[in-house]
């Protein structure tokens, strides 16, 4: 209930009273409640005052996911502030795919400047290799009617 009434005070308390996984887990809870009640802007201001930290990666991800539909470029900027490289790459891919789906031309023009990780660049910006399928028939000794085509991808 305290988080609902005064999320900034709750966030400050969690930030100073806890460390490690406890801090991260509790900040995720505070962030979820804060965004749910006041939207992402107040939490974003608080995070900007603290600065990037691994314990805030979850909260930053929540902000990015809340803002991607309104401002995908801003969501990508938030994603770039994640400390953990794997989390940043995953979030860039999720946000980038959403942007491409919502506004393909805008994403094609602007997304390259916002994607930081190589794996996200590969997933979002490089064309996919086409997959061709070959049909191979197998002989069945029992009955000729039992023959079925097996479909296997060919690279």
pLDDT in tens, 22-50: 999 999 999 999 999 999 999 999 999 99
**Structure tokens belonging to residue 56:** 């805030």
DSSP labels, 16-47: HH--HHHHHHHHHHHHHHHHHHH-HHHHHHHH
| Under 8 Å between Cβ of 54 and 15 | no
Name the helix (H) or strand (E) containing 136: strand 132-137
The pLDDT, as a whole number, for residue 126 is 77
pTM, full prediction: 0.79
């Amino acid at each position: 209930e305290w988080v609902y009434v005064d999320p900034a005070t709750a966030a400050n308390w969690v930030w100073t009273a806890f460390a490690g996984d406890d801090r991260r887990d509790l900040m995720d809870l505070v962030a979820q409640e804060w965004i749910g009640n006041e939207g992402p802007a107040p939490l974003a201001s608080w995070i900007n005052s603290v600065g990037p930290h691994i314990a805030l990666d979850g909260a930053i991800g929540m902000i990015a996911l809340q803002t991607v539909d309104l401002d995908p470029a801003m969501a990508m900027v938030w994603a770039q502030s994640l400390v953990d490289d794997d989390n940043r790459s995953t979030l860039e891919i999720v946000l980038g795919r959403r942007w491409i789906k919502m506004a393909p031309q805008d994403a094609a023009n602007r997304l390259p400047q916002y994607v930081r990780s190589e794996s996200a660049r590969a997933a979002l910006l490089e064309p996919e290799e086409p997959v061709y399928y070959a049909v191979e028939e197998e002989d069945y000794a029992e009955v000729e009617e039992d023959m079925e085509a097996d479909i296997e991808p060919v690279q």
